A = this chain, B = another copy of it.
Amino acid sequence: MIEVTPQAVDDMMDWLSGISDAEGPGTTRLLYSPSWIDAQEQLKEKFETLGFNCEFDAVGNLFATLKGSEQPEEVIASGSHVDTVTKGGRLDGQLGIMAAYMAIEKLIEKNGQPKKSLQIISMAEEEGSRFPYVFWGSKNIFGLANKADVENIEDANGVGFEEAMHAAGFDYLEGAPKFNKIAAFLELHIEQGNYLEKEGKQVGVVNAIVGQKRYDVVLKGQANHAGTTLMEYRKDTVECFARIVTQGIDKAREEGNPLVLTFGRVEPKPNTVNVVPGETLFSIDCRHTDQAVLNRFTAELEADMRSLAEEMGIEIDIDNWMDEAPVPMDTHLVQTLEEVCKENDLNYQVMHSGAGHDAQIFAPRVPTAMIFVPSIDGISHNPAEHTEAKDIVPGIQALAGAFEKLAY
A381 and chain B: residue at smallest CB distance: B225
Q: Which of A32-40, A50-58, A193-201 contacts B (4 or more CB under 8 A)?
A: A193-201
Contacts A263-B239, A267-B271, A272-B264: A285 and B226 contacting too (C-beta < 8 A)?
Answer: yes
Interface assignment of A277: CB less than 8 Å from any CB of chain B: yes
Interface residues of A in 264-300 (CB under 8 A from B): 264-268, 270-277, 283-285, 287
Q: Which residues of B contact A270 (CB under 8 A)?
A: 264
B272 touches A225 (CB 8 A): no
Q: What per-residue 1/0 map shows which CB atoms of A237-258 lie under 8 Å from chain B?
A: 0110111111001001100011
State in angstroms the CA–CA spacing of A192 and B227 once bound together.
Answer: 9
B378 touches A224 (CB 8 A): yes
State in angstroms the CA–CA spacing of A273 and B285 once bound together.
Answer: 6
Contacts A266-B268, A268-B265: A354 and B285 contacting too (C-beta < 8 A)?
Answer: no
Partner of A231 from the list B230, B253, B271 (CB cut-off 8 Å) is: B253
Q: Which residues of B contact A195 (CB under 8 A)?
A: 228-230, 233
State in angstroms the CA–CA spacing of A145 and B304 once bound together.
Answer: 53
B276 touches A268 (CB 8 A): no
A239 and chain B: residue at smallest CB distance: B249
Interface residues of A in 194-244 (CB under 8 A from B): 194-195, 198, 210, 212, 214, 222, 224-233, 236, 238-239, 241-244
Q: Which residues of B contact A146 (CB under 8 A)?
A: none
Partner of A236 from the list B212, B224, B226, B262 (CB cut-off 8 Å) is: B262
Interface assignment of A353: CB less than 8 Å from any CB of chain B: yes
State in angstroms the CA–CA spacing of A229 and B267 once bound together.
Answer: 23
Size of the A side of the interface (Cβ < 8 Å), in residues, is 63
Q: Which residues of B contact A193 (CB under 8 A)?
A: 224-225, 227-230
State in angstroms the CA–CA spacing of A263 and B239 once bound together.
Answer: 8
B273 touches A230 (CB 8 A): no
Contacts A194-B233, A241-B242, A245-B242: A355 and B267 contacting too (C-beta < 8 A)?
Answer: no
Interface assignment of A191: CB less than 8 Å from any CB of chain B: yes
B273 touches A265 (CB 8 A): yes
Q: Which residues of B contact A104 (CB under 8 A)?
A: none
State in angstroms the CA–CA spacing of A241 and B266 once bound together.
Answer: 11
Contacts A195-B233, A285-B273: A355 and B262 contacting too (C-beta < 8 A)?
Answer: no
A-B complex: 3 closest residue pairs judged by Cβ atoms? A193-B228, A227-B354, A242-B245
18 residue pairs from A and B, CB less than 8 Å apart: A193-B225, A194-B224, A212-B227, A224-B378, A227-B354, A227-B356, A231-B259, A239-B246, A241-B242, A242-B242, A242-B263, A243-B246, A263-B277, A264-B273, A264-B274, A265-B272, A266-B266, A273-B283
